[in-house]
Amino acid sequence: MSLRAIVLAAGRGTRMHSEVPKVLFPIAGRPLLAWVLDAVAGVSPNETLVVVGHGADQVTALLPADVRAVVQEPQLGTGHAVMAALAAMGEVAGDTVLVVPGDTPLLRPETLRALVAALPGATAALLTARMPDPAGYGRVRREGDRVLGIVEDRDATPEQRAIDEVAVSTYVFEGAALAGALGGLAPDNDQGEYYLTDAIGLLAASGTVRGVPVADPAEVQGVNSHAQLAQVSADVRRRINAGWMAAGVWMLDPERVYLDAAVSLEAGARLYPEVHLEGSTTVAAEASVGPQVFAVDSAIGPGARVWYAVLRGAEVGEGAQVGPFASLRPGTRLASGSKVGTFVETKNTVVGRGSKVPHLSYMGDATIGEEANVGAGTITCNYDGRNKHRTVIGDRAFIGSDTMLVAPVQIGDDAVTGAGSAITRDVPAGALGVERSQQREVPGYAAKKARKTQKKG
């Protein structure tokens, strides 16, 4: 006997008001559907099919190699979607068929295992939940422990709408029984569709259908609107954060920490409020991140301090400091003990061990050696209108405030530039490079200016 899984992902998601297929909306950096496929993989099916329709090419492109797409065309309801999947599967007699919606990212593998375990001795079993607000869900009709059928919300009577136990579109069937029930479906409803829920009524009339309640209705919450997407995203975020805190990560306010699923944190890392870590970002032990940090595809080393900063494709070394109000663009690498401070932007730049760019500077396409100091207001003029050029600053160099380094240019080890200089030529090691007009004073200027102002008045 094989376990065959069908994931329903053909719907348009009309209430999302988007051309993006609903199952591709992101939660914690991953599409909705990816979370569901992980849960399904947790029950080790022999085969997994995803039924696609709206945006079929986009959905198919993200599927793992061992998952097959089946196109539902036209899209005539959930029953019709399962018909398309069974046609692609071939013979299913003697097999167990699991059917899962593609928009329930909080669904756990252990819940699906419990559902599959409930099937022996029955022709079908379904997950149910008691919802405080059951609007939009199919109501479960029972007689004691037996499930008699499901009534779709739009077709329910007022008495049936008062039922708070709902079906959550997750089922397991004996294969032959499912195939037979699908053959008995008819589109005799106001949508003109084939409802998979009607198959439950047909199977209940001739055999046993079991309901498997979930303890937490949030686990089976579907996503049909942006409001529900936000709600489910928050629940996923809480689950992620709880896992990291259990592993030794400190969070001052976990409700205000936003982590993608692929982010990696070491025990002892400290996260303050309004931290957003995306992509493949990593944070090492004893690093402090936040408040107000956005980092994507970046690495923050042991003991580093990053606050009020934006990092994109950057590496922050051990004990380095970033911020406040710093922007590290792709290609930035900060060595241990270095500093990029207030209102500093870097791009494709290496800052050596112990070197400092403390404030009000732009370092683009630069290599800074060890123990160098870059004064306030210094910029690298790296773009000539066509090409980018590099600036090299040597070990222990001292760059005076408001220096313009016109690339390509090299500042040697232990060299100094005078404040306010526009450096257009290399400065040798140990030398002073200075370029500015000679200062002069105009005696009595203030009095002369005052007399001119009085005459104009």
Tens digits of residue pLDDT in 219-245: 999 999 999 999 999 999 999 999 999
Please say if the pLDDT value at position 408 is more than 70. yes
CATH 3.90.550.10, the chain: domain bounds: 3-220
Residues pairing with 410 in the sheet: 392
Right CATH number for 3-220 from 3.40.190.170, 3.40.50.300, 2.40.100.20, 3.90.550.10?
Answer: 3.90.550.10
Question: pLDDT averaged over the chain?
Answer: 96
Give pairs for 182-185: CB < 8 Å, separation 24+: 182/79, 182/82, 182/83, 182/86, 185/79
* Half-sphere exposure for 410 (CA within 13 Å, toward CB): 7
At position 450, the amino acid (one-letter code) is A
Q: What is the CATH number of domain 226-433?
A: 2.160.10.10
Q: For the segment 358-382, what is each residue's pLDDT rounded down to a tens digit? A: 999 999 999 999 999 999 999 999 9
Q: Return the number of other C-beta atoms located less than 10 Å from residue 456's C-beta.
A: 6
Q: For residue 457, what pLDDT is reported?
A: 62
Give pairs for 223-232: CB < 8 Å, separation 24+: 223/13, 223/22, 223/25, 223/32, 223/103, 223/104, 223/105, 224/13, 224/15, 224/16, 224/22, 224/103, 224/136, 225/15, 225/16, 226/15, 226/16, 229/16, 229/25, 229/27, 232/27, 232/105, 232/106
CATH 2.160.10.10, the chain: domain bounds: 226-433
Averaged pLDDT for residues 81-109 = 97
Please say if the pLDDT value at position 131 is more than 90. no
Tell me 44's DSSP state.
-
Is residue 307 within 8 Å of residue 291, measured between CB atoms?
yes
Name the pTM for this structure.
0.91
Q: Return the number of other C-beta atoms located less than 10 Å from residue 183's C-beta.
A: 10
Q: What are phi and psi of 101, to 5 degrees?
A: -75, 150
Q: What residues act catalytically?
A: 359
Is residue 300 within 8 Å of residue 282, measured between CB atoms?
yes
